[in-house]
Each structure stands twice: as C-alpha cells, then as structure tokens.
Structure 1
C-alpha cells in the first residue's frame, strides 16, 4: 500500500467570506501611530475659584487707567467714541479674569467697575473740554467744580451714551469669563 498526500484544505480564518481578503497589503507602509492608542498628557485640574483679591485689584487699576485714557480721547476729539467704551470694558474684564481666575464674583465686579470707568472717563472728557473753553486748568474744573462737570455730562448725555454703557458692561462680563478659562 502506498500512502498518498492528503488533499489541500482551504484555509479558514478572518478572511472567509470577504471578497477583499485577496489583497495582500496596502501599496504603502502603515503610518506610525495609526490604529494605536495615542497617549494623553495628564491634565491639571482647573482651579475651583481663583484669587478674588488679586482680580479685584487688577480690575480697579485697569478701570482707573482706562477711565483716564477714555477721558483723554473724549477731551481730544470732543466726541464720545463707542469703540473706546468697549475697549474700557474689555480691558477691565480681561484684567480681572487673567489676574483673578475663575471666581464667580469677578465678571459682575468687572461690569460695575467698567460702568464706573466709562462714567468717570466721560466726566474727565467733559472737564477737559470745559477747561479748554474757559482757558483754565483741568484740575481746577474737575475737582473744584465737579457738580458743574456732572451737570454738563447730564445735558450732553443721549441714548447713545447709555448704549455705550451697556456695551462696555457686556464687554467686561464676557472678557472676564473668557480670560479666566
């Protein structure tokens, strides 16, 4: 008796029933990292609150500086400029958010400080315009006749003036929220 070789058996495996199983490999080598899990860098947890005192101090300093600059712009141009009011709010909110972090009080404090800053900036502008018209010193008009400066502001205020307040407050709130992220 002679032994014969067994007939070849079809190979079975994951390619059974797959018409594309005949393709051996892609025409290009596999890219490194494709299909492999990508290790993630550890992420530090976000701070819960932030430093309220530092944020408030930064916002107050920014509000004082922004009020002075806004007043100088108004005094030099003899017009309120809406973009400058938006800038005042943005700068106050940005300072509060960057310095104070994610404390929930800071956006609201930024709004209040931005509104005060826009108001005092407009008063500085009124005093500068009055001082030029009268030919006297700015400090004499602003500090010596503050009630007259306020009356001049009231007579010059129009709906656009109050729109600038709203926009500055919105800019301060959103800048404080976004800067804290």
Structure 2
C-alpha cells in the first residue's frame, strides 16, 4: 500500500496556493495587516518604550528628591517614637541608592553621590527628629526650631550623638552605595 505523494507546490498535502492566503509564508511571520508582536492579528497593545535609564542628570535629581523624602520620613519616625532605629537608616540609604541607580543607570558616580546624599539625609532626618522632640517640650514649633534656632538644634543633636548615631551614618551610606549598584545592574 503506497501513500499518494503531494504535488511539489503543495507541501504536506496543504491546500493549493490559490485557496490559502497564507501559503508560502514563513512560520512565525505575522499575518497580513498584523503588527509584529501583536497577539491574534490585532494591533500591538502598546508601542515599545525604551527604558529611562542611563540618564545621569535624572538619576541625580531622583536621588535628591528621594533624600528629601527619606529624611522627612526618618525624622518623623524619630520624633514620633523619640528613639533612633537602625533599620530606618538602612531604609533611607537603600531608598536613595535604589532610586538613583534605577533611573540613572550604571554611571559610577551615582553610587558615590547616593552614599553622600544618604549621609546628608540621615543627618537632617535626625535633626528633624530632634526638632519634633524639642517642639513637644518647648514653646517653639518644629519649623521655628529647625529654621530660626538651627544652632540650638545642632547643639542638642551633638549632645545626644554617640557611637550608634555615627554607626547609622555608615550603615546608610553602605546601603545606599549597594542599592545603587544593584538597581543599575
């Protein structure tokens, strides 16, 4: 018993080319009128957008904004519980580093800048915490202490500073540097 052999223009017993509009197309080729990458012959759901990475200026701006926000949150936490928390300092550093690395990309200056900004953010966060605590026991508001009596606030911070205070600076800087490196890769 022999099997019939299809004619040369009909591979594997397919319909003739005149009856099949897709005959002769390569496997995986889009259907007529279909955009490449679109499912089921419809239009593409969205156009591919290049990632906003490797932009050093935007990475620096993101790091500065993240530092301001993180310092405010860190200061509010310190002021609310009247105690410093090491994990919060890690969070400040990591947030700044991760944000700058994610947006700015692999530029080697961003991890260093992020570490410096995390030191500044932890310092101002601790000062804000001191101002919140001071506003509870003095007739001054937080903004008056922070803006009008900054030297007094700084002296109070120095009096309260100890080894753990400076350890939080180191932890935040390391977390920021490593966060920027991980986000950029």
TM-score by length of 1: 0.72
Q: How far apart are the structure 1 equivalents of 2:165 and 2:143?
A: 24
Structure 1: give runs of 5+ residues left out of the alignment.
Answer: 1-46
Equivalent in 145, 148, 163 of residue 144 of structure 1: 148
Shift in Å, 1:145: 0.1
Equivalent in 168, 173, 177 of residue 173 of structure 1: 177
Q: Which residues of 2 match residues 1-181 of structure 1 at below 5 A?
A: 50-181=54-185
TM-superposition CA deviations, 1:77-135 (whole Å, max 9, x none): 10011100000000000010001000010000000000000000000000111111113
Structure (1 or 2) with the larger CA radius of gyration: 1
Question: Alignment partner of 1:50: what SS?
Answer: coil
Q: How far apart are the structure 1 equivalents of 2:64 and 2:85?
A: 22
CA RMSD of aligned residues (A): 1.3
TM-score by length of 2: 0.71
Question: Alignment partner of 1:80: what SS?
Answer: coil
Q: How far apart are the structure 2 equivalents of 1:104 and 1:111?
A: 12
Q: How far apart are the structure 1 equivalents of 2:112 and 2:166?
A: 18
Q: How far apart are the structure 1 equivalents of 2:172 and 2:140?
A: 31
Shift in Å, 1:160: 0.4
Shift in Å, 1:50: 1.8
Q: How far apart are the structure 2 equivalents of 1:123 and 1:137?
A: 14
Structure 2: give runs of 5+ residues left out of the alignment.
Answer: 1-50
Shift in Å, 1:51: 1.1
Shift in Å, 1:136: 2.6
Structure-1 residue corresponding to 2:21:
none
